[in-house]
Amino acid sequence: MDYQSRSRVPAKKKWRDRLIRWAQAQPTWVVGYVDEVWWSRLAQPTMHAWSEEEALHLLERPPDKHDPEPKALACYGVVRTDTQRVWLRFVQDRPVSTLTTQFLAWTCARLHAEGKTTWVLIWDNASWHTSAAVRTWIREHNQRAKRTGGVRLLVCRLPTKSPWLNPIEPRWLHGKRAVVEPTRKLTARELTQRICDYYGCEQLPHLSKYVP
């Protein structure tokens, strides 16, 4: 019935889809999906392999209490719909608001160097995406971009618990399968290099929340 309340999800989806289509038609706009992922040095991805003798089984490696390196590495990633390229930045510790704003600033700088003016940023509702610190940073960044030039951010949030709407998700899965090492445990540096090589990214210093 017309007088009954209706979900706002379809309306939000239509608005998001219209914005994406319009942005993709603008030469100085970029649509980019952002997500974070953990790369484990111990856990192995699910894989299927054909063998005449026996099936290949990838087993999770036991942790070593004497190993000084982290068990897993976290990184931010953005996939652009215009080039289908993935940009990565690894982080120390885990994703937090401070590291999120550093990643956004780094990505905006790279896009600005290409002559882009607007980034339609699409991501989920993780706490480090929706925090007051990140929302304030985005607002102030857009004000500076309007005054002095730069890449403006238009934020679109994906519905809760809908990872299939983010096209970077399957790229994470393919990447984990591509960099796996069945015979030994990779060092953190080896794992990082394999990941960067797979995505064609430069290996840059890790983002740190201790950097002002």
Ordered by start, the domain boundaries in the chain are 27-47+69-199
Q: Which CATH class is domain 27-47+69-199?
A: alpha beta
Distance CA(16)–CA(35), nearest Å, equals 17
State residue 6's pLDDT score: 47
State residue 163's pLDDT score: 87
Residue 112 neighbours by CB under 8 Å, 6+ apart: 149, 150, 151
Distance CA(147)–CA(195), nearest Å, equals 38
Question: Radius of gyration (Cα) for the chain, nearest Å?
Answer: 20
Chain-centroid distance of CA 25 in Å reads 23
**Ordered mean pLDDT values, 10 residues apiece, the chain (212 residues):** 52 85 94 96 63 51 68 96 97 95 98 97 97 98 96 95 92 94 89 97 92 60
Distance CA(164)–CA(171), nearest Å, equals 11
pTM score: 0.85
